[in-house]
């Protein structure tokens, strides 16, 4: 019996040590990603109508680059960053061991299967379950990167369904400016430029508000944060 207990204690110590090393690695990789993002973008957060305090929110933003959620995540204060999870495509973040580690362990992304024919879980259910654990979310209601000349693509219905499911959660519009020039489509080497991330006044769904009216109001709130150079004529 003493030998068994000693063996079990040693095994538990190894598990604890591995967990500590894993946590340190996750923290270190996260800090390196945030530092790199700041170095190449000199990103500046603009809190206009909302304060950078720990509070559950859904940050909904324009989407022009693969690095969009990284920039939002980077500018959040550490206490907020640790509880904020991006909603991201599973087919991108599960394609390699490194991406899987960064997506699941570092960003703790809510990974969505974008193919309705293969998905086994409803994306709205996944997001609601994440909110119910106390997490905040980063969401791109356009659904895909905007590579057109329009300021925004029409919003998908996900933001409406999320607002309907959890109407008390603040929906915060976020405008990312310049990142599409830092990471142009098809390029692998970033071009250093100054970027801004503007946070606006939260939006909430009104009782019995129709989907179209809510999405138009949310889109208007997001566009109101855009610098003139980002607004299509």
Q: For residue 164, what is the domain's CATH number?
A: 3.40.1130.10
pLDDT tens digits for 86-124? 999 998 898 899 999 999 999 999 999 988 888 889 999
Coil, strand or helix at 53: coil
Tokens of 77: 């204060």
| pLDDT band, very low/low/confident/very high, at 232 (cuts 50, 70, 90) | low
pLDDT at position 179 is: 67
74, 138 in Cβ contact below 8 A?
no
CA dihedral 139, 104, 96, 190 (to 10 degrees): 50
| pLDDT band, very low/low/confident/very high, at 19 (cuts 50, 70, 90) | confident
Query: Dihedral of CA 24/27/30/32: which sign?
Result: negative
Strands of 84-89's sheet in order across: 44-47, 196-199, 170-177, 57-61, 136-139, 84-89, 110-112
Coil, strand or helix at 88: strand
State the total domains in the chain. Answer: 1
Domain of residue 66: give its range: 2-230
pTM: 0.87
pLDDT tens digits for 26-61? 999 999 999 999 988 889 999 988 999 999 999 999
Strand ranges inside the chain, DSSP E: 44-47, 57-61, 84-89, 110-112, 136-139, 170-177, 196-199
């Amino acid at each position: 019996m003493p030998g068994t207990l000693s063996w079990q204690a040693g095994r538990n110590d190894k598990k604890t040590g591995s967990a500590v090393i894993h946590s340190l690695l996750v923290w270190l990789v996260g800090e390196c990603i945030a530092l790199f993002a700041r170095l190449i973008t000199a990103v500046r957060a603009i809190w206009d109508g909302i304060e950078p305090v720990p509070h559950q929110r859904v940050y909904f933003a324009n989407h022009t680059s693969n690095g969009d959620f990284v920039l939002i995540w980077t500018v959040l204060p550490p206490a907020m960053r640790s509880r904020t999870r991006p909603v991201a495509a599973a087919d991108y973040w599960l394609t390699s061991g490194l991406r899987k580690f960064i997506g699941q362990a570092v960003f703790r992304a809510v990974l969505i299967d974008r193919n309705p024919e293969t998905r086994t879980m409803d994306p709205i259910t996944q997001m609601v379950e994440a909110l119910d654990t106390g997490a905040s979310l980063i969401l791109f209601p356009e659904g895909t990167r905007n590579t057109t000349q329009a300021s925004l693509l029409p919003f998908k219905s996900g933001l409406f369904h999320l607002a309907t499911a959890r109407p008390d959660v603040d929906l915060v519009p976020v405008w990312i400016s310049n990142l599409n020039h830092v990471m142009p489509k098809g390029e692998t080497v970033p071009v250093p430029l100054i970027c801004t991330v503007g946070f606006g006044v939260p939006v909430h769904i009104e009782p019995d508000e129709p989907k179209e009216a809510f999405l138009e109001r949310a889109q208007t709130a997001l566009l109101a944060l855009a610098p003139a150079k980002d607004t299509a004529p």
